[in-house]
Structure 1
Amino acid sequence: MAMALLSAEMRSGVDMILNETGGEKMLAQADLVITGEGRIDAQTLSGKAPTGIAKRARAKGIPVLAVCGQSLLDPAISNELFEDIYSLTDFESDINECIRNPLPILEGIGFNIAKHHLS
């Protein structure tokens, strides 16, 4: 209705945010991009922020990592977007513990990212 009455246009949310916040300028200076969300799954592929960020970064040849609570994507699909996905549930199988006490798990993920991607 807004499109018809107000001459509004439909735009991708992630594209709009990246454009408005200087995302392109940040990508031009980046050697590595880390993005994420609570759960990476099939919905992630339908226009959510991590996918939009990953597509822009990969188009510039920048490797992209994702950090999430849980990943349900098939590796064959996720490898098209992300060099690696670090899931809290890969480090701690008890989801309730991941929710209650994520900091030590995230510190371990940060250590692994530094070790494998920043050396």
Structure 2
Amino acid sequence: MCATTSGTPVFNFCKTVTDQLVNIQQCNPINQPTPSGEIVYYQNLTDLVVKGSSTVINTSTFSVMTVVYAQGGLSTNLILEPGRSFTLFFENLTGITVQAAAGPSPEAACTGTLLLDLHYCVECSF
């Protein structure tokens, strides 16, 4: 991850040469009771600024999801109907929670997928 230059040009999104861009991609299943309180699916417990994108897919037949994205001091609430998906790009992600609400016909679980593509800079020590 952190290496000296090898003669190959590398574009670094970080602000300094000693920082290195880290990219993490995750695919997280969503499976929670209907109805349910908020369940945390991502939480940034560091002081790193996390950028990237997230896609939530609601594969439930009847359950409605409320997805809350926390970015810095702001929150974005998204209502996701069954069979729908939504992609959000973010600049300073601090958390993602999902709450399941019963739709017109209750079902045992709210199901789906949370896809994360996260980018952040770390300082390298050589």
TM-score by shorter chain over 0.5: no
Normalized per residue, the structure richer in helix is 1
Instruction: Provide the TM-score with structure 1 as the length reference.
Output: 0.27
Normalized per residue, the structure richer in strand is 2
Instruction: Provide the TM-score with structure 2 as the length reference.
Output: 0.26
Structure with bigger gyration radius: 2
